[in-house]
Amino acid sequence: MNIVITGSSKGIGKALAIKFATEGHLVCLCARNEGELAATAAEIRQIHPGVVHFAADLSLAASAAGFASWLTAQRIDPDILINNAGRFRPGSIHSEEDGQLEEMIAVNLYSAYHLTRALLPAMMTKKSGHIFNMCSIASLAAYHNGGSYSISKFALMGFSKNLREELKPYNLKVTAVYPGAVYTSSWEGSGIPPSRIMEVSDVASLIYAASQLSPQACVEDIVLRPQQGDLD
């Protein structure tokens, strides 16, 4: 299968790429930073040679269209699309910087919206495929210092639910993923012990498992939290 993963140079996206490559699938990586992306692609090719990459800022509609056109030129029709590109900026609605809402919406919602729209025609024609949207527990409930980040993740949840309904007649699956705290570079130096936080491989393993079900089964929502619960 052809697996398209955005935000895949590090963190959860990289873990997903490793998981699918290990299982022998063609993995198409996309992220903003060309250097980090190329390094990740080279590392994963040591596991499986079927890895290609394309650097793009998917918060921009033109860049999302460019990535989709590149996939078409490479004759890669996605079987699985994982919209993992995203960014976290803490803040409160009343005090965060001007423009923070626009930034969070562009990175966390528009990236998924524009790329999905660009890739859907081929998937709808085939009447098969699976789309995963990386939401967050911030999509499910308001929390301290969530601000515009939480707003954008609520919006991504709404996008996922509407997409799920629209694509049922085309046999396309849509899964929204809601992780709690996952140990990535953003947690380094936080003072929180890694044993208190989930591992990126936990998320990757569940997404992979959900992708392997029969055509007549769809996991609509995946909610993961640290065993001891959310961090305060």
Active site residues: 149
Q: Residue 230: CA atoms inside 13 Å, Cβ hemisphere, count? A: 13
Single out the residue of 7, 11, 14, 19 nearest to residue 40, CA to CA.
14
Q: Is 27 helix (H, G, I), strand (E, B) or coil?
A: strand
Single out the residue of 29, 22, 20 nearest to residue 1, CA to CA.
20
H/E stretch holding 144: none
Single out the residue of 29, 14, 37 nearest to residue 183, CA to CA.
14
In sequence order, the 6+-apart residues with CB closer than 8 A to the CB of 113 are 159
Q: Is 178 helix (H, G, I), strand (E, B) or coil?
A: strand
**What are the backbone dihedrals phi and psi of residue 121, each rounded to the nearest 5 degrees, phi first?**
-55, -45
Dist. CA 133–CA 203, nearest whole Å:
12
Q: Is 182 helix (H, G, I), strand (E, B) or coil?
A: strand
Q: What is the DSSP letter of 176?
A: E
Dist. CA 82–CA 115, nearest whole Å:
10
